């Protein structure tokens, strides 16, 4: 689970923060040695901040602990004295001959972590991001030598099936099932690592169902990945063993997932369906999901060990959404530039949920801009979430853009809340900064609807993007039109 510490900038707080960091990392599944490295790296950053950033003044330091299935990220935020890491580089000769250890702390941090990023956000403060990836066994390494994927399948054609909730004890069987069904081609790489599956289910970051035969063999798995930012979930992991397909198992599991999601109080489900083929889009449509966005360059198409193809492609996805609550209300504020397409997107849900109606806009004007940043190092994209528009919106965004320039990104996404008329000016400026339309993200942040814009930093071939529904095709044409216009500049 995520955690947040707000600390007074005083040295006596350091030990407690370091202690908490180590224990949290261990609880989240890091090996003790890796957890110690993250604690040491955090300690180095905090010590430098306390000694140099807040030398003659009081203040606070915020630490955000975030978990994904593949890594741990710690973000340390402070507003102490300005600091430029490029001016404080470590020199081994100076350290030996002059006992000058300037820059040693940052070198230690880089050594202890898999990713280290410094963000200078100007008046919004400074941010240090530390990332450590999980090290765990791949399912292939846990199987006997010369084992082939098909050797795992034990079809029982006339068998009855047992559908039960997935538990952490099912982790290895789930990984075997993925390997058996897809070899190395499944898009969610974490499902090849039983320990990651076990940790995610144990901490309820995901919940799902597993289907077994009478003999106990796993033949189907389907899970919802819970959002950490809102009461919604992604139907993002699904598999049925090849020899057991065509028997309605996927339908049984999807119906059970919808039931389980309602029992847990989720307000909606969404799916990110690949645009390389339309099968997953068809499945979502069959269960009442409606297309709301087209997200370009969502991730690189990975090549796994054992695959012969040498072509690496960029994956785009269709965002499909299914509301689970009767209390979902359409916002009043729809930006003028995209009012027509957004109105069409909302209109898809009126037959399914007649209670969708206009809510109350937030017209209160604030001076402060509040932005959050999520970096996905594996998929090479970042998401900026606007929590509050303010007079400093443009300058705050520019500082953030500059801070992430060193990352080799495929795309930058920004989610804008549909609760203020300030969105119109924000959109005008973002389009000047080469952002284009993406779509609607329903209930995506704090149970509020957001509109997504996207800045694509790689070349895209829209002929490779396949869509199933008419509205998805309409969004594709709009996005391609804006994309092409940027290429002509």
pLDDT of residue 330: 84
Beta strands 232-240 and 268-274, pairing class:
parallel
Given a cut of 70, is residue 191 above it in pLDDT? yes
* Residue 330: strand pairing partners: 358
Task: Provide mean pLDDT across the span 28-41.
Answer: 93
As a whole number of angstroms, the distance between CA 15 and CA 11 comes to 8
Lowest mean pLDDT among 50-64, 104-118, 134-148: 134-148
Domains and CATH numbers, the chain: 3-133 (3.30.565.10), 139-323 (3.40.630.30), 336-487 (3.40.630)
412 sits in which H/E element: strand 411-417
Tell me the pLDDT tens digit for each residue of 139-172. Answer: 667 666 555 555 555 555 556 899 999 999 999 9
Sign of CA dihedral 48, 49, 51, 53: positive
CA 109 → CA 75, 105, 115, distances in Å?
Answer: 13, 6, 9
Tell me the pLDDT tens digit for each residue of 425-442. Answer: 999 999 999 999 999 999
CA 418 → CA 327, 335, 414, 425, 468, distances in Å?
Answer: 17, 8, 13, 13, 27
Lowest mean pLDDT among 249-258, 313-322, 349-358: 349-358
Lowest mean pLDDT among 89-103, 312-326, 399-413: 89-103
HEC letters along 210-268:
EEEECCCCEEEEEEEEECCCCCEEEEEEEEECHHHCCCCHHHHHHHHHHHHHHHCCCCE
Of 394, 386, 408, whose CA–CA distance to 457 is shortest? 408
HEC letters along 86-135:
HHCCCCHHHHHHCCCCCCHHHHHHHHHCCEEEEEECHHHCEEEEEEEECC
140 vs 467 pLDDT, higher one: 467
CA 139 → CA 133, 144, 203, 278, distances in Å?
Answer: 17, 10, 21, 29
277 vs 413 pLDDT, higher one: 413
Burial class (CB in 10 A: 0-12, 13-18, 19+), 308: exposed
Burial class (CB in 10 A: 0-12, 13-18, 19+), 203: middle
């Amino acid at each position: 689970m995520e955690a947040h510490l707000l600390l007074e900038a005083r040295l006596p707080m350091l030990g407690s923060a370091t202690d908490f960091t180590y224990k949290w990392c261990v609880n989240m599944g890091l090996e003790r040695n890796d957890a110690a490295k993250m604690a040491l790296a955090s300690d180095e950053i905090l010590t430098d901040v306390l000694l140099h950033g807040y030398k003659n003044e009081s203040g606070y330091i915020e630490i955000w602990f975030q978990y994904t299935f593949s890594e741990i990220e710690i973000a340390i935020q402070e507003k102490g004295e300005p600091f430029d890491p490029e001016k404080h580089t470590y020199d081994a000769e100076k350290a030996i001959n002059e006992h000058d250890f300037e820059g040693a702390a940052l070198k230690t941090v880089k050594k202890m972590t898999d990713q280290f990023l410094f963000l200078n956000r100007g008046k919004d403060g400074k941010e240090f991001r530390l990332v450590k990836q999980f090290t765990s066994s791949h399912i292939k390494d846990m199987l006997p030598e010369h084992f082939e994927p098909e050797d795992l399948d034990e079809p029982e054609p006339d068998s009855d099936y047992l559908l039960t909730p997935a538990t952490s004890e099912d982790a290895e069987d789930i990984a075997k099932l993925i390997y058996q069904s897809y070899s190395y081609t499944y898009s969610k790489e974490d499902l090849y690592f039983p320990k990651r599956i076990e940790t995610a289910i144990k901490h309820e970051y995901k919940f799902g169902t597993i289907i077994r035969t009478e003999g106990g063999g796993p033949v189907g798995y389907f899970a919802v990945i819970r959002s950490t930012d809102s009461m919604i979930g992604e139907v993002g992991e699904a598999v049925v063993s090849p020899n057991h397909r065509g028997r309605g198992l996927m339908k049984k599991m999807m119906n059970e997932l919808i039931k389980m999601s309602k029992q847990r109080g989720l307000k909606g489900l969404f799916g990110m369906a690949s645009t390389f083929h339309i099968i997953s889009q068809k499945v979502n449509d069959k269960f009442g999901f409606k297309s709301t966005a087209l997200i370009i360059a969502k991730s690189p198409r990975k090549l796994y060990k054992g695959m012969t193809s040498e072509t690496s492609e960029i994956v785009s996805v269709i965002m499909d959404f299914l509301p689970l609550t009767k209390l979902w209300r359409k916002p009043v504020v729809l930006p003028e530039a995209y009012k027509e397409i957004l109105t069409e997107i909302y209109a898809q849900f009126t037959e399914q949920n007649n209670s969708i109606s206009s809510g109350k806009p937030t017209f209160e004007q604030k001076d402060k801009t509040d932005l959050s940043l999520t970096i996905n190092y594996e998929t090479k994209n970042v998401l900026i979430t606007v929590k509050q528009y303010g007079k400093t919106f443009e300058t705050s965004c520019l500082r953030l853009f500059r801070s992430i320039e060193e990352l080799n990104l495929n795309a930058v996404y920004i989610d804008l809340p549909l609760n203020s008329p300030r969105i119109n000016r924000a959109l005008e400026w973002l389009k000047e900064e080469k952002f284009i339309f993406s779509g609607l993200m329903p209930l995506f942040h704090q149970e509020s609807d957001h509109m997504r814009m996207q800045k694509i930093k790689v070349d895209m071939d829209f002929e490779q993007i396949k869509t199933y529904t008419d509205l998805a095709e309409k969004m594709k044409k709009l996005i391609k039109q804006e994309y092409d216009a940027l290429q002509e500049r």
